[in-house]
Amino acid sequence: MKTIYLDYNATTPVDPEVVEAILPYLTQHFGNPASSHSYGTNPKRALETAREQIATLLGCESGEILFTSGASESSNAALKGIASAYRNRGNHIITSQIEHPATLAPLFFLQKQEIDVTYLPVDHTGTVDPDAVRRAITAQTILISIMHANNEVGTIQPVKDIGKIAGDHEVLFHTDAAQSAGKIPLDVQDMNADLLSMTGHKLYAPKGVGALYIRSGVKWEPLIHGAGQESSRRAGTENVAYAVGLGKACALAFSRLQKFENEIRILRDWFQNQLITAFGDRIKVNGHPRNRLPNTLHVSFVGTAGSDVLERVPQIAASTGAACHAGSVELSSVLKAMGISPEEGMGAVRFSLGKFTTREEVETAVNLLTAALL
């Protein structure tokens, strides 16, 4: 049988409508958007249309959107760019212990450049306490970086409250929205965000394209220097075809967001309830019970290693939350920070649904899991 894909938080297939939008810019509209002749006209116009489509999804102005190669570059650019631009004002950044490596790795790098970083804990649901953010702010704090939604357990952070705290203290706020973009509403104004990272391959656009929102007026030092592309904010000839794909994916997500959110939540909840009914106390749901991405189901099969679960049901493509090495269990940094015990964490499996997931596939997945594990 065809493998059931339940790993949409890892990556998504490219939407056929996105493919259709991309193709002309790989063939007839191949010109450099910086060219003054007619071959550059359509690519330049397409770039600006895509920028507007992304801005509509995020609730900002199109001039505040910078095209990147993905969320990793966006987060690196945000963190390093602010640290460099505000070096004379302070050298302290606040983040959480459950951030994606695209945030944590550049922060580790910045610590070598004499930037102080505070890594805030989370509670058992994976939630950052806004009061802890407030208490961590010092006179040297220049930036707070807290992800919008966690990629493993799906917990949605109180970014609106955190962003307000940042603004009240005249501190900039960055959020990694790689997992939330296209799944739940995004509004940088409501979130009080000054910078936001996103990527294409989590919302049905190709891999290798993303965007960084930078609020107008925010001082920022570019990560990539060279010619004057992207208003001198990112050197290098733009990847027009993929930018068009990202714009189209954002437009599709925006037009279908409420319908998608409602339908995928119903399907995810049905999946969750079926597993709880079948496995009882042998299964534990991780993450916040309500403030969670509507497509994400992170569970622990108590007493069975997550890797063993997926080995027994090779017809399901999903992710584990722990690695086994020479008889020992190494939990992910997210599960450790949440205080998940090794006994429960070893059985962690993340199922993430998408817009191409069908009820029939989920029903089959339940049947395969119960047949293999009960």
- Cα(83)–Cα(69) distance, rounded to whole angstroms? 21
Please give the Cα distance from 50 to 54 (Å, whole number).
Answer: 6
Tokens of 6: 């339940």
Residue for token pair 């069908």: 358
Which H/E stretch holds residue 267? helix 240-279
Annotation marks residue 250 as catalytic: no
CB atoms within 10 A of CB 160: 14
Report which of 268, 299, 285, 277 is spatially closest to residue 370, judged by C-alpha positions: 277
| Residue 327, token pair as written in the block | 């008889």
Catalytic residue among 285, 302, 323, 324: 324
Using alpha carbons, select from 112, 47, 100, 111 the residue that is nearest to residue 75.
100
Residues in the chain: 374
Q: Sheet with 65-68: list strands edge to edge.
A: 65-68, 210-214, 195-199, 172-176, 141-145, 92-96, 116-120
Distance of CA 130 to the CA centre of its chain: 20
Helix %, strand %, coil % for the chain, to 5?
A: 40, 20, 40
Q: Which two tokens stand for residue 13?
A: 């297939």
CA atoms of 61 and 307, how far apart (whole Å): 45
CA distance 135 to 163: 14
Residue 195's DSSP bridge partners are 174, 214
Tokens of 235: 């050197």
Active site residues: 324
